[in-house]
Amino acid sequence: MIPTTSDPLAAAMIVADGIVVVDKPAGLTSHTVVARIRKLAGTRKVGHAGTLDPMATGVLVVGLNRATRLLGHLQLADKSYDATILLGASTSTDDREGEIVTTASAEALAEVTVEGIEAAVAGFRGEISQVPSKVSAIKVDGKRAYERVRAGEEVALKARSVTVSRYEVLDVRPGPAGIEVDISVDCSSGTYIRALARDLGTELGVGGHLTMLRRTRVGSFGMAAAHTLEELAESFSYLPIAEVAADTFPRYDADAEQAAAIRTGRPLPGLKLAAGQTAMFDPTGQFLALYEPHGPLAKPTAVFVS
């Protein structure tokens, strides 16, 4: 069950440990969204997983209180996006926020076909080597790449391996500014959709950049669970930490003696758990910790109660 309240002051009284799935609007940084959630939830302990650029919209997973620690244990590596690429021009940031650096001729664009786009897209499916966008948050000698670019520095980032499990072309629309291509992507964490836009344009020889980006899923959290900031201001709702843990990990219901040991993070001998992490609950249904097997013992990876 998702606790809700229409009174922002009352929110501080009911919000404990949980996850808020925010439908981030365009124009706001992820940091700004976190600040808004702090105010609405009445707590300083708020954090997020998977930063979205100001231009991007969609799913931003936010943790409240002790659930901020749970974020690092959740299975959030796989993500889904809907996006629009404009073929015919490349920009300094690989998206519409940057300055145009190259444009294609009308003749070059006329040679780009739907079949050609589909064939080029197919080459970016699977495990690929991708050079991140220069305005990414990757650190170069201790400083974010985008900070160096904005300071006028030249940035050369190394290619990295990412996985694009699904890359579909939804629509192709020729227009006066170029060719708009709507895409839908499932990919691993660390994949830059701006770089996919840039590389598709390069592959087709006409340049390309991202004009719209909407994240529709992070791990198991999709748009169906997401709320806009306006909706949260009217009626604040969140997923309790126990519900998230039970839905994400195998569950073990401890007896009173085991629960006492789990609360202090003691290993449990003779307890056979499945590989990976297991969510440990006490007899009342309170989520206590994450444990995993270590030979004949079950040991904690994170304890969430004292």
- pLDDT at residue 12, as a whole number: 46
What residues in the chain have per-residue pLDDT under 70? 1-15, 135-154
Question: What CATH code is carried by the domain that includes residue 276?
Answer: 2.30.130.10
The verdict on 224 and 213 lying in the same domain is no
Per 3-state DSSP, the chain is made up of helix, strand and coil in percentages (nearest 5) of 25, 40, 35
- pLDDT at residue 153, as a whole number: 67
Q: Is 205 helix (H, G, I), strand (E, B) or coil?
A: coil
Mean pLDDT, the chain, whole residue set: 91
Looking at the annotation, which residues are catalytic?
Answer: 53
Residues contacting residue 37 through CB under 8 Å, at least 6 positions apart:
20, 22, 46, 62, 64, 232
- CB count within 10 Å of CB 247 equals 11
Name residue 42's amino acid: G
- pLDDT at residue 135, as a whole number: 67
R_g of the chain, CA atoms, integer Å: 23
- pLDDT at residue 148, as a whole number: 65
For tokens 């006028």, what's the residue?
152
The DSSP-derived string for the chain is ---EES-HHHHHHH--SEEEEEEEPTT--HHHHHHHHHHHHT-S-EEEES---TT-EEEEEEEETTHHHHGGGS---EEEEEEEEEETEEETTSBTTS-EEEE--HHHHHT--HHHHHHHHHTTSEEEEEPPPTTSS-EETTEEHHHHHHTT----PPPEEEEEEEEEEEEEEEETTEEEEEEEEEEETT--HHHHHHHHHHHHTS-EEEEEEEEEEETTEEGGG-B-HHHHHHSEE-EEHHHHHHHHS-EEE--HHHHHHHHTT--EET----SS-EEEE-TT--EEEEEEEETTEEEEEEE---
Asked if residue 6 belongs to a domain, the reply is: no
CA distance 148 to 118: 35
- pLDDT at residue 75, as a whole number: 84
CA distance 192 to 81: 10
Domain count, the chain: 3
- pLDDT at residue 157, as a whole number: 77
Name residue 188's amino acid: S
Tokens of 27: 């124009």
The parent domain of residue 275 ranges over: 249-303
The verdict on 210 and 103 lying in the same domain is yes
The verdict on 206 and 127 lying in the same domain is yes
The verdict on 212 and 84 lying in the same domain is yes
Asked if residue 188 belongs to a domain, the reply is: yes
- What one-character DSSP code corresponds to residue 142? T
Question: What CATH code is carried by the domain that includes residue 132?
Answer: 3.30.2350.10
Q: Is 269 helix (H, G, I), strand (E, B) or coil?
A: strand
For tokens 């808004």, what's the residue?
36
Asked if residue 200 belongs to a domain, the reply is: yes
> Angle at CA 194, nearest 5°, toward 64 and 106?
150
The verdict on 125 and 177 lying in the same domain is yes
- pLDDT at residue 9, as a whole number: 46
Asked if residue 4 belongs to a domain, the reply is: no
The verdict on 153 and 196 lying in the same domain is yes
The verdict on 232 and 153 lying in the same domain is no
